[in-house]
Amino acid sequence: MTQSLYEQLGGEPAVNAAVDIFYRKMLSDNRVSRFFEGVDMERQASKQKAFLTMVFGGPAKYTGKDMYEGHKHLIKMGLNDSHVDAVIENLGATLKELGVKNELIAQVAGIANSVRDDVLGRGH
Amino acid sequence: MPTLIFEKQAYQRNPEETVLDCLLRHGVSVPHSCRSGVCQSCLMRSIDSDPPAAAQHGLKDSLRQQRYFLACACAPEGDFTATLSGPVLIRFPARVISVEKLSRRIARVRLDPAGAFDYRAGQFINLARSDGLTRPYSLASLPYTEDFLELHVARHEQGRMSSWIHDELQPGDEIAVSTPIGECCYRPEQPKQPLLLVGTGCGLAPLYGVIRDALHHGHTGPIWLYHGSRDREGLYLVEELRGLARDHDNFNYVPCLDSPAAGDEDVTVQRAHEAALARHADMKGWRVFLCGHPEMVKQTKIKTYLAGAALADIHADPFQSAAP
Ligand SMILES: Cc1cc2nc3c(=O)[nH]c(=O)nc-3n(C[C@H](O)[C@H](O)[C@H](O)COP(=O)(O)OP(=O)(O)OC[C@H]3O[C@@H](n4cnc5c(N)ncnc54)[C@H](O)[C@@H]3O)c2cc1C
Ligand code: FES
């Protein structure tokens, strides 16, 4: 049997390793850091973990509606396609840093891209 | 409007109002301090239903299972019943051994807890005065070598508990203490890990416990303590810490003052967290302890994380107090 994407990436330990690097990249990225201001770091990290679990193809707790609800307040702050691009870019850089193969990175980016419309509230 | 039943008495609660705010609005006096889910002085127990998850954040499993919750973080959906009593004892009597001035602003209080009192260096307890006024204070003592609980209390202008401790608390008095709380503790599993400790004012108290705990366990990695204060009155235990630094090659003590006066040539003139971040640019693999001024703790948590420390390796105790 072929392994799922989540298994190939290394499952939960891989998610945990990725959260720390990914969240750090997001906080130091001027394009997106303002969306994190004043947010409790632990709570934010646990949301990142849920997000990464989903884009790793893991046991997802997110629905399209959750995605929309979770980002509604950010759309009011100006969240748009360019920020989603930044997220996907940081995600790719994180995985590269962890030594993940390009082919798997592309799959992860594909899943992240597939929720773009939900995140930005298109179709809601 | 949802109803809150507290100690068998019913109160109308505004939607989204916390249990604590509701009781205070009705003039009911209940223990509380930070009003932001940090200190656990507002601990209560739900009788009829599971409290919302947010109201149990940071509580020990044993308390969670028995439906204890934090009243200041609890805004349940509908009707709710709460009490201060429950199966787990949350307050114990302790006797005051001494109240000693370490400087004009800092008092060292030593307490003798009645019976065994298990804690880890760096945790904090809530002190409750007989009229119910309750405040959290960190433990500076070591559980296995010192048979007293030691607290360092800074006097706040018009601060109700801190002024009372400085001016009125006497040896022999009895005061109630809570079980120990918090995770600001040394972990002996990684004896080579570099440790950064930044404290302002009495933020030194838990760090003093953590450092001595680490040295006692034979920690071999570098230990850096930055202790900051606006003036000399807030820098205390200077000689003790210099002595520790002399005796232990891996322990470095950096006292910092915002605005030094004559005679302060022996300290670093910079804010403690800024001095620390300037010297240690790469925090990858470090364990970090941040205690004291809430804004300093918050900022430094982000900065040490961005400098490479893992979130799980950063322990932060903001000394949050509520506006009066
Ligand atoms: C986890 C934790 C650990 C802590 N550990 C320690 C510790 O080890 N040592 C320590 O000293 N503190 C510690 N604190 C802080 C401590 O709990 C209290 O907040 C502090 O002692 C002030 O309490 P108070 O009753 O004296 O002041 P409060 O009466 O609660 O007043 C709060 C603030 O408001 C100001 N104020 C009060 N009344 C007025 C007024 N009428 N007008 C204007 N301003 C006013 C006071 O100056 C004070 O700054 C800790 C806090 C937390 C959350
Ligand atoms: S945790 Fe509720 S008052 Fe501090």
**For A68-108, how does the pLDDT look when each residue is reduced to its tens digit (9 = 90+)?**
888 888 999 999 999 999 999 999 999 999 999 999 999 99
| Residue given tokens 């609660």 in the structure block | B13
Name the residue among A93, A94, A103 with its Cα closest to residue A8: A103
Distance from CA of A10 to the nearest CA of B (A): 19
Instruction: Decide if B54 touches A, using CB distance below 8 A.
Output: no
Contact status, residue B235 vs residue B244, Cβ threshold 8 Å? no
Asked whether residue A60 carries a pLDDT value surpassing 80, the answer given is no
Whole-number Å distance between alpha carbons of A113 and A81? 10
Q: What's the confidence (pLDDT) of residue B261?
A: 78
- DSSP label at residue A5: H
Q: Rounded to two decimals, what is the model's pTM?
A: 0.91
B48 burial class (0-12, 13-18, 19+ CB within 10 angstroms)? exposed
At A44, is the pLDDT very low, low, confident or very high (cuts 50, 70, 90)?
A: confident
Asked whether residue A20 carries a pLDDT value surpassing 70, the answer given is yes
Contact status, residue A74 vs residue A84, Cβ threshold 8 Å? no
Task: Quote the ipTM score.
Answer: 0.81
Contact status, residue B257 vs residue B266, Cβ threshold 8 Å? no
Could you tell me the mean pLDDT of each successive run of 10 residues in chain B, 324 residues long? 95 96 97 95 94 94 95 96 89 96 96 92 97 97 96 96 98 96 95 98 98 98 97 94 98 93 84 97 97 96 95 94 80
Asked whether residue A62 carries a pLDDT value surpassing 80, the answer given is no
Q: What's the confidence (pLDDT) of residue A124?
A: 66
Residue B24 CA to ligand 2 center (angstroms) comes to: 13
Residue B131 CA to ligand 1 center (angstroms) comes to: 17
> Between A3 and B104, where is the model more confident?
B104
Q: What's the confidence (pLDDT) of residue B46?
A: 97
Contact status, residue B41 vs residue B134, Cβ threshold 8 Å? yes
Contact status, residue B310 vs residue B179, Cβ threshold 8 Å? no
B134 token code pair: 């309750």
Nearest to A28 among B301, B306, B310 (CB): B306
Beta carbon of B111 within 6 Å of any ligand 1 atom: no
B141 token code pair: 């003592």
Q: Which residues in A have their CB inside 8 Å of a CB on B?
A: 20, 23-24, 27-28, 41-42, 45
Name the residue among A73, A54, A61 with its Cα closest to residue A115: A54
A20 burial class (0-12, 13-18, 19+ CB within 10 angstroms)? buried
Contact status, residue B197 vs residue B211, Cβ threshold 8 Å? yes
Distance from CA of A2 to the nearest CA of B (A): 33
Q: What's the confidence (pLDDT) of residue A1?
A: 60
Phi and psi dihedrals of B253, rounded to 5? -115, 120
Q: What's the confidence (pLDDT) of residue A2?
A: 76
Q: What's the confidence (pLDDT) of residue A69?
A: 86
Q: What's the confidence (pLDDT) of residue B318?
A: 96
Tell me how far CA of residue B28 lies from CA of A99, B22, B33, B124, B186, in angstroms. Answer: 58, 9, 15, 26, 39
